[in-house]
Amino acid sequence: MMRVLSVASECAPLVKTGGLADVAGALPGALAGQGVDMRVLLPGYKPVMAALDAPIELTRVDDLFGASAQVLAQTAKGVPVLVLDAPHLYERDHGIYLDGNGQDWADNPQRFAALSLVAARIARDGLGDWRPDVVHGHDWQAGFAPYYLHKLRVGVPSVMTIHNIAFAGHADPGMMGELLLDPADYTPEGFEFWGRVSSLKAGLNYCDKITTVSPTYARELTTDTFGMGFEGLIRARQDDLTGILNGIDLAVWDPANDTVAPHYKSLKGKEKAKKALRAKMGLPDADGPLAVVVSRLTEQKGLDLTLDGLEPFLSDGGQIALLGSGASELERAWEFAAARHDGLAVRIGYDEDLAHLLIAGGDAVLVPSRFEPCGLTQLYGLRYGTIPVVANTGGLADTVIDANDAAVKVGVCTGIMHTAGRGDATAHAMKRLLDLYADRDTWSKMVKNAMRHPVGWDSSAAEYAALYRSLI
């Protein structure tokens, strides 16, 4: 059996801030059927340590950026994890990346360099009789792992996955010595990025293969519009780049057996879930479609653009229920709009149970992102027959079939797609949603198509396994 060490800063269901955690948590189970023994190296944050009940200590690190640490092993909540227990780095209140003021922890470079360094040492020394054949790093937090593998002369190949290239993992050049970085590698071919140290730059330059989370996003990353300054590097390594679409956990997101939303094995259950959702959110009954939003409220996610089409959509009988948090000005804008419209309900924050109810009870889910590497929300929507209304970008373009005239005529559409980054396009898509929902035959066909669309991990897991095998 092939052994893979996955290096991630978060992993569902133990700790999660976004889609990276869902992927890191789902891959070990998905890959087991492909003959891959994957274990996830994860920082020992407070919620992670609380989830361990009988961990086994595998190794100790005497001095890891200021104090000793240990690596613990356990299958926690169904995920085989290796936990880097380093209280001086990870035992903190507030967020895993941000302090109580919403700012990056000042020692984030050390915190995630430590994760990468321990990954490289595990690859070099093994843990008992387990030694990885491949190291798979996720985003900037694991970016130094391929670099440390190179400097330690460890003959284990590495893969880097870009979940969101907008985050480069910056550090001041004066920290090179502390981070065990060779100043000779402070070059564009090493880890220098616009006058700063970048752990993502290190990972992309020193890894053997690069993946990202959808084929369209892989192509977008080679452009000035989406490459965020890395486009030259990505173009130079196009032969090593693969876009592998994310999947979702079909056991967690299962409309027939959802433990939170009302169970439904037929479309009749959608009406029951919608009724429960309206009651939960304080929305009145209505004849138009109930659109839902489950999202971070950031510029990337485009929820400011949705506000442009709000008035006509609600005036024509539509409703919106939103769950999200993020930029304070967007939170205030949505709360202000909700105070003025009976058909709009807003909850600021995140609630996993409510997220399930929103996806189950909504008629449509709005994902108007300016850019979206993959997106999981639209996959949840497809699974539950909640029609995705999405921007034509990244993984959204790879997973939704637009209800244009041709697709409607042949009965293959699964959603509504619009131009990314434009408020008028978002407003027009919401008008199309109203019209399509009123055409009950077409809408029913779209819902059935959506629920048949494959959204699991089978195909993608096979692609990852093939990529690992190509390296060893």
Q: Give 296-338 as a DSSP string.
A: EESTTTTHHHHGGGHHHHHHTT-EEEEEEEE-HHHHHHHHHHH
For the chain, percent of residues with pLDDT exceeding 90: 93
Mean pLDDT confidence for 438-453: 96
CA distance 109 to 177: 12
CA distance 124 to 138: 19
Is there a contact between 296 and 324 (Cβ–Cβ < 8 Å)?
yes
Mean residue pLDDT across the chain: 95
Least confident of 53-62, 185-194, 258-267, 332-341: 258-267
Alpha helices in 256-307 (DSSP H): 268-281, 303-306
Half-sphere exposure of 71 (CA within 13 A, CB side): 24
Q: What is the pLDDT of residue 40?
A: 98
CA distance 88 to 104: 16
Helix (H) or strand (E) holding 418: strand 416-418
Is 173 in a helix, a strand, or coil?
helix
Nearest to residue 419, comparing CAs of 399, 436, 396? Answer: 396
Amino acid making up residue 419: T
Task: Examine the pLDDT at 359 and tell me if it is beyond 80.
Answer: yes
CA distance 418 to 369: 10
Q: How confident is the model at residue 6 (pLDDT cuts 50, 70, 90)?
A: very high
Identify how many contiguous H helices and E strands the chain contains and give both numbers. 19, 18
Is there a contact between 202 and 190 (Cβ–Cβ < 8 Å)?
yes
Q: What is the pLDDT of residue 263?
A: 62
Mean pLDDT confidence for 217-230: 97
Is there a contact between 91 and 46 (Cβ–Cβ < 8 Å)?
yes
Task: Examine the pLDDT at 262 and tell me if it is beyond 80.
Answer: no
Mean pLDDT confidence for 101-118: 96
Task: Examine the pLDDT at 270 and tell me if it is beyond 80.
Answer: yes
Domains in the chain, start-ordered, CATH in brackets? 2-247+457-471 (3.40.50.2000), 268-452 (3.40.50.2000)
Mean pLDDT confidence for 85-103: 94
Q: Is 448 marked within a binding site?
A: no
Q: What is the pLDDT of residue 266?
A: 61
Q: Which two tokens stand for residue 181?
A: 């970085």
Q: What is the pLDDT of residue 24?
A: 96
Backbone angles phi, psi at 385, to 5 degrees: 70, 30
Radius of gyration of the chain measured on its C-alpha atoms:
23
Q: Is the peptide bond before 132 cis (omega within 30 degrees of 0)?
A: no
Condensed to tens digits (0 to 9), the pLDDT of residues 388-412 reads 999 999 999 999 999 999 999 999 9
CA distance 322 to 343: 11
Q: How confident is the model at residue 19 (pLDDT cuts 50, 70, 90)?
A: confident
Cβ neighbours of residue 13 closer than 8 Å, sequence gap 6 or more: 25, 77, 78, 79
Task: Examine the pLDDT at 267 and tell me if it is beyond 70.
Answer: no
CA distance 190 to 194: 12
Amino acid making up residue 363: D
What single-letter DSSP state applies at residue 60? E
Task: Examine the pLDDT at 265 and tell me if it is beyond 70.
Answer: no
Task: Examine the pLDDT at 261 and tell me if it is beyond 80.
Answer: no
Per-residue DSSP letters for 352-397?
A: HHHHHHHHHH-SEEEE--S--SS-SHHHHHHHHT-EEEEESSHHHH
Q: How many residues does the chain have?
A: 472
